[in-house]
Amino acid sequence: MENIKRKALLVISFGTSHMDTRQKTIEACEKRLRDRFPDCDFYRSWTSKMIIKKLKTRDNEEVLYPSQALDLLLEKGYKEVYIQSLHLICGEEYNKMMNIIDNYRHKFDKILVGRPLLTSLEDYDYVTDLIKEVSLEDTKLDLKRSASVWMGHGTEHQAHASYAAIDYRLSRNSIKAYLATVEGYPEIEDMIFFLKKDGIEKIHLRPFLLVAGDHAKNDMAGQDEESWLSILRAEGFEVEVHMEGMGEFEAIQDKFVENLADAIEEDKRIGVACRDQDVEAGRFYGIGTGPGDSQLLTIKAAKTLDKLDILYLPQAKIGGESRVRKIVDPYLRPDLVLKERHFPMSYDSQEKRESWDAISKEIIDDVRHGKQVGFVSLGDPMLYSTYVYLLDRLIDRIEIETIPGLSSFSNIAASNNFSLAMDTDPMLVYPCTGSMEEIERMVDLFDSIVLMKVYKRCRPIIEMLEAKGLADKSIMVSNSAMEEELVYRDISQAKDLDSYSYFTTIIINKKTYKANILDLWTKNN
């Protein structure tokens, strides 16, 4: 319990196995951050599992992966975590880190993350000025025919434009410096063209990398013919190598410190603004809309919709129509802010997690700004609903109220006078996403069964129920309570349809209400 009120500083970088450059770059940046935030306990984490493993094997040194580090901070009882990334761009490694962090946001009172080196326009200007300063020092003895050349890593991620942006700024400002990448654009061939075009003869070769590790020692300054040093010399340039990682420059160390300080100040600013404006505490509402008919919305759901500032509407397809919007439209104020957000229906779990994480972050931000925020879900929000994935990411971080809704199978039963269960009879609600063997086993075990998500297995399920003599004890409904609702009291009629709606449910009751009443009457007479 001694750590309950303490804050943690977690510095996350890609990592390196080269101790010489590590001390001068990663550890130098870490020290600068530790000195600036002395009220925080310091922790280190790297995003490269390969380097983490190598260090463990070679040196028996253990560096934590971000998820391991955050688990450790939870275990130690920290409530607030300040995280600074030492990544240069918002690329693949940075986004991998953020995806991990987002899964932990609801587990801490506060997680603040400082942006990487290149994010805002001001960041690009800052780095451009540093390159200019270094390049002027490099070329001061031979300004006319010399220039500095910077080797970046490059990426296939969309953040590859960061390198081109720096290179453009250098040329636009007539700075005698050029930037290209090992794995992306601009390439060394592009740069050589402009070096020759500009009459450059001598090159000061530098890494545009946090550390002067493998890439700097091999890809940039290696002795094999494919290294930049060899290629540039083969092209007739005189080359002087400078093995300084970007992390060695005090200006870069200061920038990382500034980025985390900015995140902390922004958090304070939001808090003060909310207090000064006497902003009502925000709250998040998960609202069940029922199966499809606007009239089946509960009174509480309708009243909740009326007091919202922002309403999130799920979309199955990007740019597609939100089915649930039609249901709630009669209850929405004209000034209500609507945010339609895509929730992937694919089997790509990574894509789904990224979508849920991003939307959860947006909701948290809205609520913390004092907004009353809602999310609508078909049926009941706690039953086979995307809402549950949001709830898992939001709970304990913001105030939440969940408004129940009428489930589709309850509406099907009521609308068609089809009893679900009586007395002590158990009832099974089963999603038909497993094997037919498992579905059949469930049908054999229970007398009252609700089969949901049947659309891909409708035909074999109907055939199975026919074989068991249960066709007349079953009902099948597609798009319950919607305009396109289809009801099959004789489910055999639905066996040969060309397609089945995603919103298709089959209910089976081997013991009908009518049969129970007749049995009771016979027994008493």
* Angle (deg, nearest 10), helices 436-445 and 458-467: 40
Task: Give the strands of the sheet with 146-152, arranged side by side.
Answer: 177-181, 146-152, 202-208, 238-241
Q: C-alpha angle with apex 283: 277 to 284, nearest 5 degrees? A: 140
For residue 312, what are the β-bridge partners? 339, 375
Angle among Cα 404, 408, 472 to the nearest 5 degrees reads: 145
Residue type, 148: S
Q: How far apart are the first and last CA of the chain?
A: 70
User: Hey, is 12 helix, strand or coil?
Assistant: strand
What DSSP character marks residue 402? E
> Residue 49: is it exposed, middle or buried by C-beta count within 10 angstroms (0-12/13-18/19+)?
exposed
DSSP class of 493? G
Cβ neighbours of residue 101 closer than 8 Å, sequence gap 6 or more: 66, 70, 83, 111, 113
Question: Which of 87, 153, 160, 215 is an active site residue?
Answer: 153
- Residue 309 CB: number of other CB atoms within 10 A? 18
From CA 65, how far away is CA 70, in angstroms rounded? Answer: 9
Residue 175 CA to residue 497 CA, distance in Å, equals: 70
Element (H, E) at 368: helix 349-368
Query: In the chain, how many H helices and how many E strands?
Result: 19, 18
Max distance between CA atoms of the chain, in angstroms, equals 116
Q: Is 157 a catalytic residue?
A: no
Residue found by looking up tokens 């890609």 in the block: 14
Distance of CA 233 to the CA centre of its chain: 45
Written as six digits, the tokens of 316 are 């199955």
Instruction: Report d(CA 87, CA 71) in Å as an integer.
Output: 22
Query: What is the spatial distance between Cα 79 and Cα 40, in angstroms, rounded to a whole number?
Result: 11
3-state secondary structure of 507: strand
Q: Which amino acid is at 105?
A: R
List, as one string, the DSSP characters of 242-269: ----GGGSHHHHHHHHHHHHHHHHHHHH
283 contacts 373 by C-beta, under 8 angstroms: yes
CB 210 within 8 A of CB 249: no
Active site residues: 153
